[in-house]
Structure 1
């Protein structure tokens, strides 16, 4: 019987927890980590690499991906959809700059109720989606001066066009690591570089992730990347092939001991399927109701703190 697709993830978790280098990190929490890991997941026959040893809230990850594709960088529209995965960064900034020890819940309520407050305190800077669909370009205005153009490079639109019209290209890439704007971002991109490959009527994608929280973030990262491959494949009249995930600094936080021990004690099982219920006009026109997951019967959710 073939090995369950999740086993390679659990093996990597065990290797890091057992043999990883203990390091002090940006958050001060501390990690065990290795440098350089690679995992592969087949997307054939509607397969989707959702973890089964704990519940993954895939609709939250899907809503985040759709948000990225709008180019929005403010958490307000996410919070309005009850997606709270980006709140910690602007909340921390608000507390530090105002001295107001507002609760997580009250901060999100103000973000929803007060549009002006959200504009000031809910923006994350030019993160992910901004770079994906509106990478800044500059125009000469004379006398050696330049100004930022009102319209930047839409890497996603160019990607779709390239896959459709030049499938054999080795340049099907989009990038989030804009060096000139890193200091303006609430969090520099962790899943930073995506590349795609067409062969035998199938679209495969490779994600390079500079930093991976294997305990929490990874589950979202591989689902989101798989979702994006599915959307791109549908738009380009291709089948989904594989997701290849490459992680650089792959780590487990030292305060995730309970999460790691629980997850490693569980046995993966089941084979969830992913379906897209319609084909929109473009990659930018999908809605959450277009996506459906079936045969997903995960084990109990495992909570753990996020290191900010």
Structure 2
């Protein structure tokens, strides 16, 4: 289907639908949401297209640093805060405040994470979130007498995915997930963008992201950019062209305390077509650096701030 509609309009239409017609629900955070169940959007990634929202500024370098951090398998915020990436700090900070009673500021907490090895080890760890499952899913081998031993090196789903795309592109099993049921309770936050699947046709790589829970006002902007980034990196590693990114949301919601964000964003019109380029091809997907990525022609409207519900 050919359409002249800006790629972002489907997002704004979904936001308006949820805000005006969504079910009001009590949620985990206690803030409350308006939500619908089940939504789909599609984004063409051809010709260097990238689904960065234009009705507000998206800090794409922050999202890129997070994705590169995921691919290392690290689960401690220290490497993030050293790069001035604060998006995961609220969860360990909230835990620290509750367990110690100390009303420490975020800046002071992060400074201690950076400077104090023992403090970072105790308070900076998020549990086995995203990257841990992506590149080091637990592997157990029999140890005799009905016992099992956890192996030092787990399953690298990303490596297996790329090997599969290169050697058996027609497979219907090009999938990785972070939803490890046995370890959900150990995670600071169970994975929201939980399952990815990939599809090769006519020399192009397309991907689907299934997101079980989507904060459409704040989180989505990062989620959709990061998924497109991942498709592009994997495509390059497999000598394919980027195709299409399909986004599927389960519980898609807007927080009730984000009224100013929603109403301001819905008053704006999307404009422009930013371009995304990978400047070199590293040896593997685990070797990209922030300097390898360039975004051009991105002229978004001003940033809209809103509180994160923890």
Normalised TM-score (structure 2): 0.99
Aligned residue pair count: 308
Residue 265 of structure 1 deviates from its aligned partner by 0.1
Alignment of 1:178-193 (within 5 A): 178-193=180-195
Match of 1:58 in 2: 60
Alignment of 1:168-247 (within 5 A): 168-247=170-249
Residue 197 of structure 1 deviates from its aligned partner by 0.1
Secondary structure at 1:151's aligned position in 2? coil
Match of 1:141 in 2: 143
Secondary structure at 2:287's aligned position in 1? coil
Alignment of 1:98-177 (within 5 A): 98-177=100-179
CA distance in 1, matches of 2:233, 2:130: 18
Secondary structure at 1:177's aligned position in 2? coil
Runs of 4+ aligned residues of structure 1 deviating over 6 Å after TM superposition are none
Range 246-255 or range 98-107, more displaced? 98-107
CA-to-aligned-CA distance 1:72-130 (integer Å, 9 cap, x gap): 00000000000000000000111111111111110011001111100110000000000
CA distance in 2, matches of 1:139, 1:237: 35
CA distance in 1, matches of 2:10, 2:117: 45
- Does 2:23 correspond to 1:21? yes
Residue 139 of structure 1 deviates from its aligned partner by 1.3
CA distance in 2, matches of 1:24, 1:270: 37
CA distance in 2, matches of 1:184, 1:223: 27
Residue 26 of structure 1 deviates from its aligned partner by 0.1
CA distance in 2, matches of 1:296, 1:210: 29
CA distance in 1, matches of 2:248, 2:85: 26
Match of 1:44 in 2: 46
Secondary structure at 1:45's aligned position in 2? coil
Q: Which runs of 5+ in 2 are unaligned?
A: none
From 78, 82, 85, the counterpart of 1:83? 85
From 259, 266, 287, the counterpart of 1:285? 287
Match of 2:299 in 1: 297
CA distance in 2, matches of 1:209, 1:143: 40
Secondary structure at 1:100's aligned position in 2? coil
Residue 55 of structure 1 deviates from its aligned partner by 0.1
Range 95-104 or range 56-65, more displaced? 95-104
Secondary structure at 1:205's aligned position in 2? strand
Range 273-282 or range 109-118, more displaced? 109-118
Secondary structure at 1:46's aligned position in 2? coil
Match of 1:9 in 2: 11
Match of 2:272 in 1: 270
Range 235-244 or range 143-152, more displaced? 143-152
Q: Which runs of 5+ in 1 are unaligned?
A: none
